[in-house]
């Protein structure tokens, strides 16, 4: 009947998670405050704080000053998707990475693009389209618009060897961005590029990247059929 001691925040976290999973603390319950837990666990309040903060970050606890800490009623699962450079993504799967530039030109973008990028309607942008391959089979089609006002050095690049995906990440700083996942039917052109049937369902990732108040780049990545983005919860 020895009370176990919890010397580090990870073990406190584990115990807290155990209690939540075992329903010792049920959804909606107010759990004891940090000082009491520290006393019970035989550690400093700081340590309990660290552990509770970690659990709260994962969405299983709701914490509010003075109100205390309670078990989340409906834990919002937070799926964290790691969006890496496509070359790394492929190489990490143990596959051979291939790259092919399709087109590269300066052009006035369609309204949808200039709007999204908050760029003047008749302003020329750099338009790069390319294909990423894994073991010589089409993996993802990249359709990208780059704002030369923000990344003038981008105009000097051919993107024939290094993809815009990779070049930009290395050379264009950004402060924030947004990303959207959706499904779309392959147009005949997309089908040809990705070597799939027309109207195949494709996973699309649209990303818009900002540096301060100006848009750096807007990209759509279309993945081949049956492509999955996976993560653990």
Partner DNA sequence: AGTGATTTTATGTGCATACATAATAAATTT
Partner DNA sequence: AAATTTATTATGTATGCACATAAAATCACT
Give contact residues for a copy of itself (rule: CB under 8 A). Answer: 17, 20-23, 27, 59, 73-85, 88, 166, 169-170, 173-185, 199-204, 207, 209, 211, 223, 225-233
From CA 52, how far away is CA 159, in angstroms rounded?
47
Does 63 participate in binding DNA (rule CB under 7 A)? yes
Tell me how far CA of residue 201 lies from CA of 183, 185, 227, in angstroms: 6, 5, 10
> Coil, strand, or helix at residue 46?
helix
Query: Which residue among 28, 68, 110, 173 contacts DNA (CB under 7 A)?
Result: 68
Does 3 participate in binding DNA (rule CB under 7 A)? no
44 Cβ contact list (under 8 Å, min separation 6)? 38
155 binds, among DNA, a copy of itself, none (CB under 5 to 8 A by kind): none
170 binds, among a copy of itself, DNA, none (CB under 5 to 8 A by kind): a copy of itself
Q: Binders of DNA: how many residues, by CB under 7 A?
A: 26
177 binds, among DNA, a copy of itself, none (CB under 5 to 8 A by kind): a copy of itself
Does 58 participate in binding DNA (rule CB under 7 A)? no
From CA 100, how far away is CA 119, in angstroms rounded?
28
What token pair was written down for 123?
A: 């302003």
192 Cβ contact list (under 8 Å, min separation 6)? none
Query: Which residue among 28, 46, 106, 173 contacts DNA (CB under 7 A)?
Result: 46
Which residue's CB is nearer to DNA, number 71 or number 222?
71
Task: Say if CB 223 and CB 140 are below 8 A apart.
Answer: yes
What token pair was written down for 226?
A: 């049956």
From CA 173, how far away is CA 211, in angstroms rounded?
7
53 binds, among a copy of itself, DNA, none (CB under 5 to 8 A by kind): DNA
Query: Which residue among 18, 28, 35, 181 contacts DNA (CB under 7 A)?
Result: 35
């Amino acid at each position: 009947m020895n009370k176990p001691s919890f010397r580090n925040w990870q073990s406190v976290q584990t115990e807290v998670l155990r209690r939540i999973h075992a329903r010792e603390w049920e959804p909606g319950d107010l759990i004891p405050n940090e000082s009491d837990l520290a006393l019970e666990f035989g550690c400093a309040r700081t340590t309990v704080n660290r552990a509770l903060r970690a659990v709260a970050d994962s969405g299983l606890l709701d914490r509010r000053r003075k109100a205390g800490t309670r078990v989340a009623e409906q834990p919002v699962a937070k799926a964290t998707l790691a969006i890496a450079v496509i070359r790394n993504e492929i190489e990490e799967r143990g596959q051979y990475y291939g790259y092919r530039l399709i087109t590269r030109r300066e052009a006035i973008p369609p309204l949808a693009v200039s709007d999204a990028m908050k760029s003047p309607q008749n302003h020329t942008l750099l338009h790069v389209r390319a294909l990423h391959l894994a073991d010589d089979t089409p993996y993802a089609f990249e359709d990208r618009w780059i704002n030369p006002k923000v990344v003038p050095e981008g105009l000097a690049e051919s993107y024939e060897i290094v993809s815009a995906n990779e070049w930009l990440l290395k050379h264009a700083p950004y402060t924030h961005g947004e990303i959207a996942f959706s499904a779309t039917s392959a147009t005949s052109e997309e089908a040809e590029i990705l070597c799939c049937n027309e109207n195949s369902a494709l996973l699309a990732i649209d990303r818009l990247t900002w540096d301060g108040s100006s848009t750096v780049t807007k990209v759509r990545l279309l993945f081949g059929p049956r492509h999955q983005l996976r993560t653990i919860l």
